[in-house]
Amino acid sequence: MRIECLDHSGARPTTFLIEFKGNTILYNCPLEVKSLSKLTGIDDASPPPQQQQQSLSSGGGFNHLDTLLSRIVNNTKSIQDGSLLDLCDDGCVFRTVNFSLVDLNQIDVVLVANSEMMLGLPFLTEYLGYKGKIIATEPTIEFARQRMEELVAYHGRQGSFISPGSAIHFSQVGSMNRQCVDEQWRSLYTLRDIKLCMQKIKPVRFNEHLSLYETTTLVPYSSGYSLGSANWCLEATDRKVVLMSTSSIVSNRHPALFDMSIMEKADVVLVSDVRTGDQNDTDHIRKRILGHVAMTLQSQKNVLFPISMIGNIFDLIGDLARHLKALNMPVSFYVVSPVARTSLEYANILGEWMTAGHQDTVNTAQKPLEHGQLQQEKELFAYDSLQDANDIKEPCVLFTGDHTCLRKGPVVSAVEHWGGDQRNICIITDPETLASQDLPSSRMKMVPLILNTRVSLWEVGSILGTACRITPPPHIIIPDMLGSDRFKERWEMEHPGATQLHTINPGESVSIEFTNKMEMIVISEELAARLAPQAAHKDGVFYAIAPVTGSLAMYNNNYELQPITDLCDEYLLNPNHHPAAS
């Protein structure tokens, strides 16, 4: 067995090429985002200070941002009219993992852990021409589609299909940053790419058993991270490999709990996309968020969350609603995104992917998540854009924007509108936001309170220790990161000699040699029809036994025992009874 990490140098390991039992499996296909510095010829769509003050003093809502929005439109038009290779029309460029050294024709299947790990798929299928199988859970597919469409709305190019080989795919980088081109950064895909890509994915349900060429069984188990997120189990005869990615054991959340049964009797556990640190302080961070929101609203000011529609937003809305109701503070919530309505509605029909408590709510004909009830009570409103949100009542809580780039989309208008008053606050919760770019300049208070629900390496050790206390995995592969040495020391102290621990970095590979090989062999129907079982018994147990002689054939990693048709083969098996010898 061989596992290779395909991520670029410096990125956290999330994507792997796995060779197992003659099958080649690609695990995950995420999208990496790079925020470029401000380039010549493009401004940040900010109005002059005098104009900004007029907007703030008008006393109205977001419907008084016409001038700002027109400047954004004019910027876009000037870029389209100019040279696409000389100007950056966005400020963000994108890339998937390094497939340059991979023969895509050899990949048998792509497995996806969650929607975040699927965002690079259109590049793989529509640009690089991958034609093989792609498998993901149903919610993962739908949430990934919504997130892709949201990205295109904020970062996509104007126009329809553009040939993947055209230089225009690198137009956002252009000659102003040649290094980005060399590092495979490019413009984002299109809506057409998304549609074609989604048609190629096979949806599965949790714990559904899938057969890969009859030699390997693929089974998804709940990872506890988000609706539909899964860890994958690969089983083949006498071997079991667990692919663990982006998992969570944080309590008081809506997704189905982390399923520890996947770890039982595992031979190899591959761990990826974990956070640094030992203890998860999510509960403490949530309490701080609730406190900031309550104090701001009591001061008749507003709260902005620059957050995408996928991830922590469903829990966050519920926490805020319960907390503010307990304080007897009636406040309206607004969600602004091109996929806001779709995402909110879809999340509330996924009761089977939630915890048992949320499933019980579904059985009582209620909305399982808080935001559904808030919509029914006219306390939460969803809009496609801020231009449509002309009835916002302040003070309020606004969720909008793309957390990967705070200089793009409706979040720009929100920051400009509220940015003149330092008593308004912008709370940043996504762990990727601060790493992606500088925050836009504003007097508005920026409060980073990161909600990272991923498990840490320390928690991985506790999970494995609990689920595999009788039979520890012979092989554990973890990312080479801060804390990996401590993890190894602790595990070896608690399980001396039981496990071989491996660390892996982007661009590296790990090879594992299995002993005592066994393979499953299928008897062909023609040969099975010739068998004549005879009764036998041992220790009071009766058996039906039949001798089998045949020719072993292998095709697509399948082993089949077939009737002997070659006289030479028959003679080699039984020379004393060969017809030519009598």
Q: Supply the pLDDT for residue 123.
A: 94
Tokens standing for residue 98: 């390094």
Instruction: Report strand pairing: 92-95 vs 32-35.
Output: antiparallel
Please report which helix (H) or strand (E) contains residue 109, including its range: strand 109-111
DSSP symbols for 221-254: EE-SSSTT-EEEEEEETTEEEEEEES----SS-S
Q: Supply the pLDDT for residue 45.
A: 33
- Domain range 281-448, CATH architecture: 3-Layer(aba) Sandwich (3.40)
Q: Supply the pLDDT for residue 529.
A: 86
Closest CA relative to residue 98, chosen from 16, 4, 5, 7: 7
Closest CA relative to residue 300, chosen from 393, 404, 181: 393
Tokens standing for residue 272: 């990826």
Q: Supply the pLDDT for residue 533.
A: 87
Could you read off the pLDDT of 289-319 as tens digits, one per residue? Answer: 999 999 999 999 999 999 877 667 899 999 9
CB 207 within 8 A of CB 183: no
Domain residues of the chain, as ranges? 2-35+88-278+454-511, 281-448, 521-581
Q: Supply the pLDDT for residue 546.
A: 86
Q: Supply the pLDDT for residue 440.
A: 62
Please report which helix (H) or strand (E) contains residue 20, including its range: strand 16-20
- Rounded Cα gap, residues 304 and 207, in angstroms: 39
In terms of residues, how long is the chain?
Answer: 582
Span 2-35+88-278+454-511: which CATH code? 3.60.15.10
Burial class of residue 195 (count of CB atoms within 10 Å of its CB; 0-12, 13-18, 19+): middle
pTM confidence score: 0.82
- Rounded Cα gap, residues 501 and 481, in angstroms: 14
Q: Supply the pLDDT for residue 412.
A: 86
Q: Supply the pLDDT for residue 38.
A: 45
Q: Flag residues of the chain having pLDDT under 50.
A: 38-89, 159-162, 167, 171-176, 435-436, 579-582
